[in-house]
Amino acid sequence: MSATQSSALRTLLASIERSASAGDDPLVVFDLDGTLYDNTHRTMRILLEFAHTHASSYRALYERLRETSPGHLKYRVADTLAALGFPDPELAQHVTTFWRERFFTDDYCLYDLPLAGAVELVNRVHKAGGVPCYLTGRDAPNMLVGTLRALQRDGFPVGRVETRLILKPSFEMNDDAFKHGVIAHLRKTGRVVGSFDNEPGLCNLFKQSFPEATVAWLDTSHAPGAPELQPDVVRLNDFTELLAGEAT
Ligand SMILES: [Mg+2]
């Protein structure tokens, strides 16, 4: 654990306290996919569903997927299939379409599991007086209900006056443009003291927008072609590293 990781939570909690005693809402922004939630389980479930319902046509894929774990998945479905020994572009197209029809929906986001330490960390922040702001590129028409159910099921503080849940108004809206717009709004409604995201570009954006905030990058998976992470962003594999740091 680096010195920055071990002190990051203490720094964040001190900022929350300072901001709250100054009468501001201390906002801590949490991305969902790849940050608080490990959505590889959702993709794994969809790939298995394809395999089980197409086993007579794709027997070898069925056998292979049944012995694959979520940790072996690539960012793109086609890359996962190729890595498993199925490079056929037509099959990749077929499976990708099947995946896309299910991945961005209420029902399937319930297959996600929280990243290690995520539930404890958000509750720690909340208990200290921080306002968790779940800010996600998921769209409200297709995913609000499932997102809310998962957050509540897993024990994240949600649906209370001192929490916020912010989804995109439409599926088509670009994720980066959406988060840029939300940042402008957050400035007017509180003080952003912390931000957690798995996309290096968004971490850099938060660090530039809120230089005093604790900004952390989750090294889970991210879109290909991401920019270099700014040096003053904390790097984490999961949230247990932060929780361990507070105890030392
Ligand atoms: Mg994400």
Query: How far does residue 195's CA lie from ligand 1's centre (Å)?
Result: 12
The first and second tokens of residue 72, run together, are 């072996």
What is the Å distance from ligand 1's center to 218 Cα?
Answer: 9
**Final residue belonging to a domain, choices 109, 124, 142:** 109
Q: What is the pLDDT of residue 224?
A: 87
Ligand 1: centre distance to CA 71 (Å): 17
4-8, 108-112, 180-184: which range is least confident on average? 4-8
Helix (H) or strand (E) holding 184: helix 175-189
For residue 221, how far is its CA from the centre of ligand 1 (angstroms)? 8
24: Cβ–Cβ under 8 A, 6 or more apart, which residues? Answer: 190, 191
For residues 80 and 86, the answer to whether their CB atoms sit within 8 Å is no
**Cα(34) to centroid of ligand 1, in Å?**
5
Residues whose beta carbons lie less than 5 angstroms from ion ligand 1 = 31, 33-34, 198
Å from CA of 136 to ligand 1 middle: 7
Q: Where a domain ends, among 61, 89, 109?
A: 109
Residues 6+ apart with CB under 8 A from 78: 89, 92, 96
196 contacts 136 by C-beta, under 8 angstroms? no
Residue 176: pLDDT band (50, 70, 90) is confident
Q: So what's the pLDDT on residue 5?
A: 75
| Cα 61 to averaged position of ligand 1 atoms, centre (Å) | 28
Express each pLDDT in 103-139 by its tens digit. 999 999 999 999 999 999 999 999 999 999 999 999 9
Q: Do 163 and 205 share a domain, yes or no?
A: yes
Q: What is the pTM of this model?
A: 0.95
Question: How many structural domains does the chain have?
Answer: 2
Residues 103 and 183 in one domain: no
Ligand 1 centroid to 197 CA: how many Å?
A: 6
215-233 burial, b for 16+ CB within 10 Å, e for fewer? bbbbebbbeeeeeebeeeb
- Please give the residue range of the domain that contains residue 164: 3-39+113-247
Q: What is the CATH number of the domain that holds 178?
A: 3.40.50.1000
Taking the chain, what is the end-to-end CA distance rounded to the nearest angstrom?
Answer: 11
